[in-house]
Structure 1
Amino acid sequence: MTMHDLSRGLALAVGSIATLHAAVAHAGGEATDFSTIVVTATATERNLADAPASMTVITREELQQRSILDLSDALRGTPGVTLSGVGMTRRGIRIRGMDSEYTLVLVNGRRINAASDAIAHADFDLGWVPVEAIERIEVVRGPMSSLYGSEALGGVVNIITRQATDEWKGSLSFNGGVVDGRLGGDTYQAGVYAGGPLIAGKLGVSFYGENRRKDAAADALDERLTEQEGRRADSGNLVLSWTPVEGQRIDVSHLEGNEKRWRNALQAGAVPYVYETVDRIDRSQSSLSYRGQWQWGESALRAYRSTLDRSNERSRGTATGPQRLTEDAVDGHASLWFGERHRFTLGGEWRRERLEDVTVNPAGHDQAVGRSFFLQDEMELAPRWSLVVGNRFDHHQQFGWHQSPRAYTVYRLNDRFALKGGVGSGFKAPSLKQLSPGYSAVGGGGLFTIYGNPDLKPETVTTYELGADWNAGEWSLAATAFQNDLEDLIQTRCVADCGIRGREVRNYINVAQARLRGVEVTGKAALAAGFSLDANYTWLQAHDRVSGLPLVERPRHSGATTLAWQHARFRAALRGEYKGTQRQTSGSRQVDLPAYTLWSLDLGYRISDRVSVRAGVENLRNERLSDSSTLYSYREVGRYYSAGINLAF
């Protein structure tokens, strides 16, 4: 696939937008909706329609219509987003084919522990915030290192939580579900939110909490083993908001959560055996933040500490030692207007990451300290033409200074049609374990031992994208072509006794170069008689530029669609999610995994303004991926029936 072919595909997509525009022009329709405000793309408030990035917003209303246990469920069906296995029956979030460790997850703009860098097979960043606390989720596709630094190589997921208002409000939700058959996987979830004023106009408080449980699901091919691990989690958050004067706000918050996960696994070897492994995860985040509105602009400052503790027990064999990850951060920025055409944002961050783990080095602990500053200029070049340029400078204690520039432009031909495009770069520093010369860990069920490498370089990416949006309110169509070029990807490579079980030695090394290019197409339409259609499609080509082989677990074709019907208080929706053929490694070669489609049904009824109920069926056709291949890194649950109720007060 050449760049000429990619350009031709984009031209076809843009032409389709123009054709649809002409076809429906007679129906009239409203111009683009400029009421949706987002903050993630620039760290300032902007209309979604003019945001300098490829963005999707998932609203609280949309979340309430489906069965959702964690962030990965919430992001299903989002353009450019796929779920992939990270080991131990867990899953991660891929954006435009980039591995899950390149997706930065934020809560109200604050980082949470990137556990995957310190703990193997971790997906603990997906369950920090209860569903009941979420106001919306902003998803940015493409690197945002120019604002957020190292981990934002593939994209950013920013969870915006509900805030206290001038009057007391609250809600309760209860959800449950059962999986068809006798293999397990049943779920239960209860959530609560309450918020309001303690002192009118001065002091407010908000609280949310959640209890959820998911039973372990057995493997249909060997019921002694677990296909999806069991989980039990409790979490809560308390926020105090003080407004001493109008336009000035101080927030103090504390988030606490604990989780237990269990599964049965097979220990390979001369005498294989089945054992139960149990992980216990405790996490917390305390923060103090300030935001001020001034005549010249706005300012923000915050300090926070995040901790994550993980301990492990095994019924047989040697358990993994305890691990503790602590992150302290102070960041801030100021935005100010220069005339009517320039809004400058200047900011900085200090961050310290500390890992306590007996495997990291002989001392059993290590830390990294980083500091950075960034600059951004949001320019209005003309009444319908905007340009955002920015750069972030990060200092790593081992690599020195590294910069991440970015430029993005939006040109609006009229109130309905816009052209967008940009170029940017990002980087990701090696983890503490990868850099430590004293790090060693056994992997592959005892097959090999991995050692750290202090000579590693940061991974880097350069991305390009160009797109077109046509939006007439209830009708819209958009297409974006993108290309990501990655350099110095870190992988493990055998350096001694290769293939000899228990003796093989592997090192982390910068070896890989990769290119991921594709086209995203999204659209929605308001049909007759209360029906609406929402669909997206992604074509992706991902390959290793050294070996020429395709990157595994990246379907060439993927997409999602929702056909909904709304009548008065009743809503029904049929959802489809398609994953095309993808490559997977089997021994020393690559094989094709079959394509599959998951269909789901959602039903909802609003009994009153305060009470609503829902029911649904996930995986209507009871697709079992293990029936097609045992090589899928994450297996979808079978047919799943769920129901729930939401009470507002």
Structure 2
Amino acid sequence: MLEPIVVTATSGERFLKDAPASVTVVTGEELRERPVQDLAQAIEGTPGVQLTGIGLGRRGISIRGMLPEQTLVLVDGMRVSNSASAIAHSDYELGWVPPEAIERIEVVRGPMSSLYGSEVLGGVVNIITRQATDKWRGSVSTFGSLTEHGRGGDGYNVSGYAGGPIVPGILGLNIWGQYRGREEVTSPQDPRLSSMGDEGAFTGNATLTWTPDAQQRIDLSYGAGYEERWRNTQGAGRFPTFYRSNDDIRRQRISLSHEGDWDWGTSRVRVYSSMLERENERSDGAPASGPQKFTDTVGDAHASFSPIENHKVTVGGEIRRERLDDPTVNDSGRAEQTHFAAFIQDEIRLGDQWEFVAGSRFDHHEAFGWHASPRAYLLYHVNEALTFKGGVGAGFKAPTLKQLSPEYEAIAGGGRFTIVGNPDLEPETNLSFEAGFEYQQGIWSARAMAFQNDVDNLIEAVCVIRCTGAPGAIWSYENVDEARIRGVEIGGGVELPWDMRFDANYTWLDPIDKTTGERLPDRSRHAANATLSWEPVEKLKTSLRVNYIGSQKTTTASERQPSYTLVSVYGDYALNGHASFQLGVENIGDVRLADESGDYAFANEGRRYFVGLKAKF
């Protein structure tokens, strides 16, 4: 087994055990051994990660108790459109890359604003895609899943990847595509309503790689996607109407990058843009929300060099332009802002056993001026097996274009209230501490990390006028809370006899609203995950996965979500050296969540059986 390489923690390559951060790597090979529809499902069970409801039965990624919109999603180090900032209940950033095109996913826990700027109070999820090699390689996979309750939820997925040389040693090509979908799940209480909406999506991408010489690499990439969703819902009022809400979502991403490996160090220059557009229609003829179009255009550059022995210095800068087209954001229906940033980082080797990483990013926001996000991290390598690590870092998240707009006004809550913007908002900030160890020797591995997040100026939507519960209330955004979220992550693994391996992790959270002294909602105090892998014969790989989420305070009517456990089993049988057959059962206990009780913040399909086939060359 080769030691995994990670890049997200320092913006440069490091062995996983030497990363100055809490990092978990999920490999593409792991993902392709089970049915994975989106990014949330891909990293479910990762230490410190919980999937939390964001409305309309959808899920978002929460890291160490922070909100989903405080998690930054990257593709090859480049941010994708943060659709949640423009579209309520949006999870559209989770479907940009299929597992077939993924080399690995790096999950970094803790604020990383010192490298990546805003939206990184909780952490970073960086999807590293597969790259072309000197020989053509490719793979195709397909699977279908079936539920047994007769109310829908069946799913399908077909994806493929190919990469190799066009001109050997000079020009390479990567291409991938995916077609996936899931049927609507009807509500058991009322068949006129949807517990989960119907989804169908196609995504594709092509990347040209030019290596004019041994020192340079140039990548040109274009990706696009189309997604259609619908769900049956009902409006507000004394005599509510039932209607179908349809969403058409279009994605686009284009990037151009240059990387150099010089005698004095390395460099990288990139220009990229991501766009997400959504159009909504309602079957009852009532006014639809949107349309919305969110465009994020970024130019960045950095250089790494060693000015003196045992120091690796990285300096860089970024210009980022956000643009939102939305009829509700202001009178003109358009809002935009430009961010400027510069950062510096020094990786210092203090002898054979100690390393110290220090740096800061300086961001300029049109409304708030300059903001510094420093970070310092220390590693002590006791020996090849054991490393102690710890650090402190600051993060910030600026309010969105809608939240800051004094003219923003939109109908929300199914028509029950109107929400308006607030130009007097302040950025959310986070000061984070962590300390722990990692150990790997022979068949054993273990790790533990204690952490604390001190969060100020959390932005929440609150009622400000006519707050009686009747229709017609006015809501706005305010900095209302200070929070302290502390916890412990522990985990480990061991290789067992008979070609078996066991891995497990546990996270304890203590999320407190410092303003009220009460526990923060929608965060489980206890979460545990375990995987038992077994290869009973040479061609067969099997695994048993268990995910436990403890009870939590919620914003639902009962104010409490009971605990639940999901158990799944998977099998992968190699037919020959190029093809394998997959089958399994997910959610064996048929836990329905939102279908069983209104206490749960998101829904799921229930027990489902899947069968798949994958081939590679």
Q: 1:353 aligns with which of 322, 343, 346?
A: 322
C-alpha contact (below 8 Å) 2:187/2:595 kept by paired residues? no
1:525 aligned onto 2:475: no
Give, in angstroms, the shift of residue 268 of structure 1: 2.3
Distance in 2 (alpha carbons) for counterparts of 1:212 and 1:624: 22
Stretch deviating more after TM superposition (608-617 or 93-102): 608-617
Residue correspondence of structure 1 range 376-387 to structure 2 within 5 A = 376-387=345-356
Aligned residues: 615
8 Å CA contact 1:594, 1:628 repeated in 2: no
Q: Secondary structure at the match of 2:346?
A: strand
How many angstroms apart in 2 are the aligned matches of 1:311 and 1:349?
Answer: 31
Query: 1:34: how far off?
Result: 6.6
The answer to whether the 8 A contact 2:74-2:126 is kept is: yes
Q: CA deviation at 1:331?
A: 0.4
Distance 2:316 2:388 in 1: 29
Q: Which amino acid in 2 is paired with 1:645?
A: L
| CA deviation vs aligned residue, 1:205-250 (integer Å, no higher than 9, x gap) | 1100111111111122222211111111001001011011112000
Q: Is the 8 A contact 1:239 1:251 kept in 2?
A: yes
Letter matched to residue 384 of structure 1:
Q
Q: After superposition, what is the alpha-carbon deviation per residue over 1:562-590, rounded to whole angstroms, capped at 9, x for unaligned?
A: 11111311111111000111111245xx6
Residue 603 of structure 1 is matched in structure 2 by: 571
Per-residue deviation, 1:383:
0.6
Q: Whole-Å Cα distance in 2 between the matches of residues 207 and 631 of structure 1? A: 43
Query: In 2, distance between residues paired with 1:468 and 1:195?
Result: 38
Cα shift at 1:608? 2.0
The structure 2 residue matched to 1:495, chosen from 464, 472, 477, is: 464
Helix, strand or coil for the counterpart of 1:224?
coil
The residue that corresponds to 1:390 in the other structure is: 359
Separation of aligned partners in 2, 1:437 and 1:73: 37
**Alignment match, 1:68:** 36
Contact 1:283 / 1:306 at 8 angstroms: preserved in 2? yes
Matched, 1:557 2:548: no
Moved more, 470-479 or 124-133: 470-479
Matched, 1:592 2:560: yes
- The one of 586, 595, 614 equivalent to 2:582 is 614
Match of 1:585, SS?
A: coil
Q: How far 1:180 moved relative to its partner?
A: 1.6
1:112 is aligned to 80
What are the equivalent positions in structure 2 for 1:218-617 lying under 5 Å apart? 218-316=186-284, 317-566=286-535, 567-587=537-557, 591-617=559-585
In structure 1, distance between residues paired with 2:599 and 2:331: 37
User: 1:509 and 1:623 mapped to 2: Cα distance?
Assistant: 37
The aligned counterpart of 1:155 is 123
Aligned equivalent of 2:57, options 89, 114, 117:
89
2:142 aligns with 174
Q: TM-score, normalised by structure 2?
A: 0.98
Q: Deviations over 1:233-270 (max 9, x none)?
A: 00100101101111200010101001001111121211
Question: 216-225 vs 448-457, which deviates more?
Answer: 216-225
Structure 1 residue 548: Cα displacement: 1.2
- Provide closer, same or farther for how the CA distance between residues 393 and 473 of structure 1 changes in structure 2, counting only shifts above 3 A: farther
Shift of 1:427: 0.2
Q: Which amino acid aligns with 2:480?
A: V
Structure 1 runs of 4+ off > 3 angstroms? none
Matched position secondary structure for 2:193: strand
> Once the 2 structures are TM-superposed, how far is the Cα of residue 594 of structure 1 from its aligned partner?
1.3
- C-alpha separation between the residues in 2 aligned to 1:628 and 1:479? 35
1:428-483 per-position Cα deviation (integer Å, ceiling 9, x unaligned): 00000000000011121222111101111100000000111111143101110000
Q: Distance in 2 between matches of 1:108 and 1:427?
A: 22
Question: Secondary structure of 1:287's match?
Answer: strand
Do 1:67 and 1:616's aligned partners in 2 also have CA atoms closer than 8 Å? no
* Distance in 2 (alpha carbons) for counterparts of 1:409 and 1:609: 45
- Write the letter of the residue equivalent to 1:115: S
Letter in 2 for 1:541: D
Amino acid at match of 2:353: R
Q: TM-score, normalised by structure 1?
A: 0.93
Task: Tell me what 2:21 maps to.
Answer: 53
Contact 1:446 1:501 in 2 (8 A): no
Asked if the contact 1:34/1:48 (under 8 Å) is kept, the reply is no
Q: What is the CA distance between 1:297 and its match in structure 2?
A: 1.2
Instruction: Between 236-245 and 215-224, report the one with greater CA deviation.
Output: 215-224
Q: Is the 8 A contact 2:556 2:598 kept in 1?
A: no
User: Partners of 1:36 and 1:135 in 2: how far apart?
Assistant: 11
Distance 2:594 2:160 in 1: 37
Output the CA distance in 2 between the equivalents of 1:586 and 1:208. 41
How far apart are the structure 1 equivalents of 2:475 and 2:562?
Answer: 31
AA aligned to 2:475 is R
* Alignment CA distance shift 1:173-1:34 (3 Å): closer
Question: Cα deviation per residue 1:103-137 (whole Å; 9 max; x = unaligned)?
Answer: 00000000100000111111000001122111110
How many Å separate the matches in 1 of 2:4 and 2:212? 28
Aligned-residue offset at 1:394: 0.1
Deviation (angstroms), 1:627: 6.1
Structure 2 runs not aligned, ≥5 long: none
1:26 maps to which residue?
none
Task: Give the whole-Å Cα distance in 1 for the aligned partners of 2:50 and 2:544.
Answer: 19
For structure 1, the 5+ residue unaligned runs are 1-32
Letter in 2 for 1:413: V
> Which residue identity does 1:595 align to in structure 2?
S
> 1:191 is matched with which residue: 150, 159, 183?
159
SS, match of residue 633 in structure 1: coil
CA distance in 1, matches of 2:593, 2:224: 36
Deviations 1:263-300 (A, max 9, x none): 11121211112111010000101111000001111000
Retained in 2: the 8 A contact 1:178–1:187? Answer: yes
How many Å separate the matches in 2 of 1:73 and 1:118? 23
2:66 maps to 98
